[in-house]
């Protein structure tokens, strides 16, 4: 289970010069096991939305709930993958992945078993005893994803997880995430400003607008992907060449560009 | 030997030669003001053999090292947790900080009269004064260590469902430890400074007592022996702390080397 619901969510930041409405009337339903990407210009409040689901922040109006339970605090049922990895530098790869399992009272034998499996799945086995700073950015983000996945969470929250990686590493990680997500589906909320990434990964893409931050439109990718058999292509560039992909990408770009035009006008 | 070591040794040799030249050879500096190398050696022989100021050198050193270690440990064991608490809890900070701000500017040595009034001339008074001196850097740096902790690491720990005790032990403490060790180094320095001053006021044995007795006996050679002994002890303890730090923060030094 892991259905996310934003019900008329708003966020107002109060200040001495008056208040700023960062988010207004956000309605969004993410179904159980659905991969939802959220794109939008910077400052549209997409990361804020993710932080509501994570329980790091609270909306000033409306409610955010998971499986009809209102979110009030962070917890391992909603695992987060941070843009800056957020690995404990004093713990090894294994230690980082183990912390969440240990916190949730999982016995030693099962812990070891689950860690071995996730390490193998993420190609990290030979780095189990390395410290994060000994790894490249891509490897560190693998560890961060492993740390989230190993908890078997209902919901995975990814906040521009590949934003800090170089272009080649990014492509490899996107392909890996697609394989992981298709084989082992979870409810995923994926924040990004890269349109291609959103179209390639997601079942649906929510486009956000700013001032105030709100959901502008939601596009269905999954039906196109299944009809056009994207998953039969192993490489991202092959998918990105497909006419159906280009069409969706252009549609989202137009939607975002209207925003920019309005901003300049 | 590197160029740096060669120059360094040359400088030290030059200073020693100058010392010998100004005292023993030319007597530009009179023996009553500053001891010659041979005076110093004789004082050293006396304090290690026959003894001086109620004991031989090792007894004085052991006494001082014991007092410093005790005062330092008491300060660290109280100061670091308090700093961590103040760094973590806004309420604790609001509660404790005003008192701390009033006490902080009091020079540690100004506590000596009160300490003697309360606890007499014995060890307890000295430990108390060392504690006050070493306490402040421990608190401030542990506090700053917690405050410098990356916000997303705290969020990551919360997201992983980390219980309070595990959080303290595995996130807060290691995260703040680079700053904590900075505090420990400063605390250790403060401990030695204060010890010598406290022993100058009144003590049966100890390096401060040696210095005090030598001053009253107008014995420059012994004063220099005492100063050298204090310096070496302080230096050795700092080196020991440095080794402990390198061991405890292996992850951090390696991370820094990479940047």
pLDDT at B258: 52
State the Cα–Cα distance between residues A207 and A216, nearest whole angstrom: 6
Q: Are residues B6 and B73 in the same domain?
A: no
pLDDT at B256: 59
Interface residue A14 vs chain B (CB under 8 A): no
pLDDT score of A262 more than 70:
no
pLDDT score of A265 more than 90:
no
In order of A48, B89, B201, B239, the CA distances from A258 in angstroms are 22, 46, 80, 64
Q: Are residues B55 and B145 in the same domain?
A: yes
Q: Mutation test of the interface with chain B: which of A51, A74, A79, choosing the one with the most B Cβ atoms within 10 A?
A: A74
State the Cα–Cα distance between residues B119 and B248, nearest whole angstrom: 36
Q: Mutation test of the interface with chain B: which of A103, A134, A145, A159, choosing the one with the most B Cβ atoms within 10 A?
A: A103
Interface residue B166 vs chain A (CB under 8 A): yes
Asked if B146 and B83 touch (Cβ cutoff 8 Å), the reply is yes
pLDDT at A183: 80
pLDDT score of A125 more than 70:
yes
Tokens of B229: 């002994």
In the 8-state DSSP scheme, what is residue A62? E
Q: Which domain holds residue B18?
A: 1-30
The structural domain count of chain A equals 1
pLDDT at B202: 75
Q: Are residues B25 and B151 in the same domain?
A: no
Q: Are residues B26 and B63 in the same domain?
A: no
DSSP bridge pairs for A189: A36, A157
Q: Mutation test of the interface with chain A: which of B145, B148, B153, B156, choosing the one with the most A Cβ atoms within 10 A?
A: B156
Q: Are residues B168 and B123 in the same domain?
A: yes
Q: CB neighbours of A257 closer than 8 A, spacing ≥ 6?
A: none
State the Cα–Cα distance between residues A77 and A154, nearest whole angstrom: 6
pLDDT at A152: 86
- The region that residue A123 occupies, defined by phi over 0 for left and psi between -120 and 50 for alpha, beta otherwise, is left
**In the predicted model, what is the mean pLDDT of residues A70-82?**
91
Q: Within the 39-98 window of chain B, which residues sit less than 8 Å (CB to CB) from chain A?
A: none
Interface residue B163 vs chain A (CB under 8 A): yes
Nearest CA in chain A to B165: A103
Q: Are residues B229 and B164 in the same domain?
A: yes
pLDDT at B254: 60
Which residue among B155, B161, B258 sits closest to A100, beta carbon to beta carbon?
B161
Residues in chain B closer than 8 A to A91 (CB atoms): 170
Q: Could you check whether the bond before residue B187 is cis, i.e. omega within 30 degrees of 0?
A: no
Residues in chain B closer than 8 A to A82 (CB atoms): 152, 155-156
Residues in chain A closer than 8 A to B248 (CB atoms): none
Q: Is residue A158 included in any domain, yes or no?
A: yes
Nearest CA in chain B to A53: B159
Q: Is residue A216 included in any domain, yes or no?
A: yes
Q: Mutation test of the interface with chain A: which of B152, B153, B158, B160, choosing the one with the most A Cβ atoms within 10 A?
A: B160
pLDDT at A42: 81
State the Cα–Cα distance between residues B65 and B194, nearest whole angstrom: 12
Please state the separation of Cα A178 from the chain's center in Å.
12
Please indicate whether, in this complex, the C-beta atoms of A91 and B170 are within 8 angstroms of each other: yes
ipTM, 2 dp: 0.86
DSSP secondary structure string, A3-67? -EEEEEEEEEE--TT--EEEEEEEEEEE-TT-EEEEE--TTSSHHHHHHHHHTSS--SEEEEEET
- How distant is the Cα of A101 from the closest Cα of chain B, in angstroms? 8
Q: Is residue A93 included in any domain, yes or no?
A: no
Q: Which domain holds residue A61?
A: 4-77+153-251
The CATH number linked to B222 is 1.10.3720.10
At A103, is the secondary structure helix, strand, or coil?
Answer: helix
Interface residue A253 vs chain B (CB under 8 A): no
Residues in chain A closer than 8 A to B157 (CB atoms): 88, 99
pLDDT at A216: 85
State the Cα–Cα distance between residues B258 and A61, nearest whole angstrom: 45
Q: Which of A7-21, A148-162, B214-228 has the lowest mean pLDDT?
A: A7-21
Which residue among A87, A90, A103 sits closest to B161, beta carbon to beta carbon?
A103
The structural domain count of chain B equals 2
Torsions phi, psi for B200 (to 5 deg): -60, -35
Q: Are residues B7 and B69 in the same domain?
A: no
Q: Are residues B120 and B168 in the same domain?
A: yes
Which residue among A82, A89, A100 sits closest to B152, beta carbon to beta carbon?
A82
Q: Are residues B83 and B26 in the same domain?
A: no
pLDDT at B252: 76
Q: Are residues B157 and B180 in the same domain?
A: yes
Q: Is residue A231 included in any domain, yes or no?
A: yes
Q: Which of A27-41, A147-161, A207-221 has the lowest mean pLDDT?
A: A207-221
State the Cα–Cα distance between residues A205 and A40, nearest whole angstrom: 10
Which residue among B160, B171, B251 sits closest to A100, beta carbon to beta carbon?
B160
Please indicate whether, in this complex, the C-beta atoms of B170 and A56 are within 8 angstroms of each other: no
pTM for the model: 0.79
Blockwise average pLDDT, block size 10, chain B, 259 residues? 88 92 86 87 91 89 93 94 90 88 87 88 88 92 92 93 90 92 94 87 85 90 93 93 88 62
Which residue among B155, B170, B171 sits closest to A74, beta carbon to beta carbon?
B155
* Sign of the alpha-carbon dihedral angle for B50, B54, B55, B60: negative
In the 8-state DSSP scheme, what is residue A213? B
Q: Are residues B54 and B179 in the same domain?
A: yes
Please indicate whether, in this complex, the C-beta atoms of A99 and B163 are within 8 angstroms of each other: no
In order of A226, B154, B189, B226, the CA distances from B212 in angstroms are 90, 52, 20, 9
The CATH number linked to A223 is 3.40.50.300
Q: Predicted confidence band at A260 (pLDDT cuts at 50, 70, 90)?
A: low
Nearest CA in chain A to B254: A133
Tokens of B143: 């506090």
Interface residue A81 vs chain B (CB under 8 A): no
Tokens of A97: 């992945």
pLDDT at B255: 59
Cβ-based neighbour number of residue B17 at 10 Å: 11
In chain A, what percentage of residues exceed pLDDT 70?
97
Which residue among A55, A80, A99 sits closest to B162, beta carbon to beta carbon?
A99
pLDDT tens for residues A215-238?
888 888 888 788 777 777 777 778
Q: Predicted confidence band at A259 (pLDDT cuts at 50, 70, 90)?
A: low
């Amino acid at each position: 289970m892991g259905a996310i619901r934003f019900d008329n969510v708003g966020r107002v930041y109060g200040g001495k010069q008056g208040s700023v409405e960062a988010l207004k009337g956000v309605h969004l339903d993410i179904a159980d096991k659905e991969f939802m990407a959220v794109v939008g210009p910077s400052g549209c409040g997409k990361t804020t939305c993710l932080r509501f689901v994570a329980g790091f922040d609270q909306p000033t109006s409306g409610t955010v709930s998971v499986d009809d339970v209102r979110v009030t605090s962070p917890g391992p049922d909603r695992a987060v993958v941070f843009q800056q990895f957020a690995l404990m530098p004093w713990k090894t790869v294994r230690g980082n992945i183990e912390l969440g399992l240990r916190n949730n009272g999982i016995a030693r034998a099962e812990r070891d078993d689950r860690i071995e499996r996730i390490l193998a799945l993420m190609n990290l086995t030979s780095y189990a005893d390395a410290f994060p700073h000994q790894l490249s950015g891509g490897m560190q983000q693998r560890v961060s994803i492993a740390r989230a996945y190993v908890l078997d969470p209902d919901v995975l929250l990814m906040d521009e997880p590949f934003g800090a990686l170089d272009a080649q590493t990014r492509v490899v990680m996107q392909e890996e995430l697609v394989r992981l997500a298709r084989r082992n589906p979870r409810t995923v909320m994926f924040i990004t400003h890269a349109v291609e990434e959103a179209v390639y990964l997601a079942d649906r893409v929510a486009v956000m607008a700013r001032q105030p931050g709100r959901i502008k439109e939601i596009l269905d990718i999954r039906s196109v992907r299944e009809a056009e058999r994207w998953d039969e292509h192993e490489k991202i560039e092959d998918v990105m060449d497909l006419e159906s992909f280009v069409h969706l990408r252009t549609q989202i770009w137009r939607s975002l560009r209207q925003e920019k035009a309005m901003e300049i006008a | 030997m590197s160029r740096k070591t060669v120059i360094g040794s040359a400088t030290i040799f030059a200073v020693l030669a100058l010392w010998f030249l100004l005292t023993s050879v030319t007597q530009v500096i009179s023996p009553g003001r500053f001891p010659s190398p041979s005076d110093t050696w004789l004082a050293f022989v006396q304090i290690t053999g026959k003894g001086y100021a109620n004991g031989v050198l090792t007894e004085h050193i052991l006494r001082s090292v014991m007092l410093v270690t005790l005062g330092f440990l008491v300060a660290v064991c109280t100061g670091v947790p308090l700093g961590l608490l103040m760094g973590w809890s806004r309420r604790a900070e609001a509660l404790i900080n005003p008192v701390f701000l009033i006490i902080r500017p009091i020079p540690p040595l100004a506590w000596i009269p009160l300490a003697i009034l309360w606890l007499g001339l014995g060890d307890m008074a000295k430990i108390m004064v060392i504690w006050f001196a070493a306490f402040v850097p421990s608190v401030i740096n542990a506090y700053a260590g917690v405050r410098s902790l990356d916000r997303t690491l705290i969020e990551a720990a919360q997201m992983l469902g980390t219980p309070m005790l595990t959080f303290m032990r595995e996130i807060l403490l290691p995260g703040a430890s680079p700053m904590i060790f900075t505090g420990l180094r400063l605390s250790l320095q403060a401990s030695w400074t204060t010890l010598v001053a406290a022993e100058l006021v009144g003590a049966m044995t100890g390096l401060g007592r040696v210095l005090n007795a030598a001053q009253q006996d107008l014995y420059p050679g012994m004063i220099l022996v005492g100063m050298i002994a204090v310096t070496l002890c302080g230096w050795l303890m700092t080196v020991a702390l440095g080794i402990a730090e390198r061991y405890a923060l292996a992850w951090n030094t390696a991370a820094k080397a990479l940047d």
